[in-house]
Amino acid sequence: MNTTDKEKNKQIISWALYDWANSAYAVTIMAGFFPLYFKQYWASSLTAEESTYQLGLANSIASLAIVLLAPVLGSIADQAGAKKRFLFLFTFLGVMMCAGLYLVSQGSWQWAVAIYVTATIGFSGGVSFSDSLLVHVAPADKLDRVSALGYALGYIGGGSIFALSVWMAQSPSTFGLADASSAIRLSFLFVALWWAVFSLPVLLFVKEPPSPGNRQAGLSAVIAGFSQLARTFSKIRQFKVVCIFLLAYWLYIDGVDTIIRMAVDYGLALNLDSSALITALLLTQFIGFPSAILFGRLGEKVGPKAGIQIAIVVYMIAIVWAYKIDSSWEFYALAALIGLVQGGVQSLSRSLYARLIPSRYSAEFFGFYNMLGKFAAVLGPILIGWVVVATDNHRLGMLSIIILFAAGAILLRLVDVAEGTRVARDMNEE
């Protein structure tokens, strides 16, 4: 292996480690301990329906903030050559707010919501700018594999810190802690540290891609960023394939994100044992690791579009099953089923989109990608919360998500990958 190949591999691994880093927050906080601790500790004075609504609202507010910020900041980052600087700023925000959850006292659910929303904005913004670097670190013929590597490392990394946190919560005396509550609060600090340390490789070793034309700075970069955003909107007809894909993605990823964020709350509403729910989440993580790798290979064989369609069908089957479950073992089985496709639908969506966009404006276009993904998450948790409050039935709330998967699958069939790739290539050559 020559020096150039070693440098490329170093950048790929460094980029993929950011998924390893931030997945600690996604799994341990967003999917695991925050909804559990919120319902049982911070919002213990609220009814189950009220706490579900507040949790959904918190996720929606955080997502809405990214909807408004991501495309604008992405365009500015392209013009200023500042993808890594924005990546650092959002990561720093997320890390500090995650650690701040440790300080929130029992019953202070308003403070918990405020800090969680801010931390989640940091997480989502960091993801957007990390994703925008994919087209610069991965060769065109390796996009599926490199994207899958990131998600695979995310599953094993997030699962590892989550496993440690669960062990602390289930056996606090082993770690010299008074009770499970102390262990969960300490896990917020551990996640913040993990996230900070393993974000360093992408910040240190991934090269900043050159900005198109002359690099801008300060106010000039802001003005140029808004101008580029306006030009993109003026040429939107050239990006018909991108628009169709983004609309499809908006719908089906809503179901994925909503299941991730609301699964523990759903299990608690069905009176399933909380330790069983946490164990099921761990199962999803460790099944997701090899499955993400395999889906990367599948994307190379049958194409990322076909791979996503397979995953969507599996999700729809899982939702129907979730409507009927009554026992912890069924929740385990569902977690395993979802683990088989969760990493695949995420990684192949990212690599398919990377094929459809001009690499020179990747931060702006991935800003749109994350904007629509997070805007979908504005609707999903609110939809569940509204259905639960209206019907007093958590099962119907979860079942309502199947509509979004079905609509997303229908639109995805209309995406012409060859045409989208051609348009992206032509724009890069302008």
Ramachandran sector of residue 171 (left: φ over 0; alpha: ψ -120 to 50; beta: rest): beta
Rounded Cα distance between 248 and 245, Å, is 5
Dihedral pair phi/psi, residue 358, rounded to 5°: -70, 125
Above 90 in pLDDT, residue 223? no
Torsional sign, CA 104, 32, 278, 396: positive
pLDDT of residue 266: 75
Contacts of 412 (CB under 8 A, 6+ apart): 245, 248, 252, 305, 308, 309, 312
The set of long-range contacts for 205-210, using a CB threshold of 8 Å and a minimum separation of 24, is 205/10, 205/11, 205/14, 206/11, 206/14, 206/15, 206/84, 206/133, 206/136, 206/137, 207/11, 207/136, 208/81, 208/83, 208/84, 209/81, 209/83, 209/133, 209/136, 209/359, 209/362, 210/81
Q: Is the dihedral of CA 395, 400, 403, 404 positive or negative?
A: negative
Q: What angle, 0 to 180 degrees and rounded to 10, lies between the N-to-C axes of helices 109-132 and 83-100? A: 160
CA distance 397 to 258: 11
Cα atoms in the 13 Å half-sphere on the side-chain side of 221: 18
- How does pLDDT run across 99-141, given as a tens digit for each residue? 999 998 887 788 999 999 999 999 988 988 888 888 888 887 7
Burial 317-356 (b: 16+ CB within 10 A, else e): ebbeebeebeebebbbbbbbbbbbbbbbbbbbbbbbbbbb
Phi/psi zone of residue 87: left (φ > 0), alpha (ψ -120 to 50 degrees), beta? alpha
Q: What pLDDT, on a 0 to 100 scale, did the predictor assign at position 341? A: 87
What is the percentage of the chain residues whose pLDDT exceeds 70? Answer: 89
CA distance 61 to 131: 22
DSSP state of 101: G
Neighbouring residues of 91: CB distance < 8 A, sequence distance ≥ 6? 22, 122, 126, 195, 196, 199
Of 123-127, 284-288, 413-417, the least confident: 284-288
Separation of alpha carbons 268 and 6, rounded Å: 48
Alpha carbon separation from 349 to 71, 206, 309 (Å, rounded): 18, 22, 10
289 CB-near residues (< 8 Å, 6+ apart)? 152, 155, 156, 159, 343
Mean pLDDT of 282-309: 85
Predicted TM-score of the model (pTM): 0.74
User: Do the Cβ atoms of 79 and 216 come closer than 8 Å?
Assistant: yes
Residue 248 has a pLDDT of: 92
Eight-state DSSP code of residue 38? I
pLDDT at 210: 63
d(CA 236, CA 365): 12
Mean pLDDT of the chain: 82
Q: What is the C-alpha R_g of the chain?
A: 21
Q: Domains in the chain, start-ordered, CATH in brackets?
A: 8-207+217-428 (1.20.1250.20)
* Chain segment 8-64, per-residue pLDDT in tens: 889 999 999 999 999 999 888 887 788 878 877 887 777 777 787 888 788 778 877
- pLDDT reported for residue 15: 93
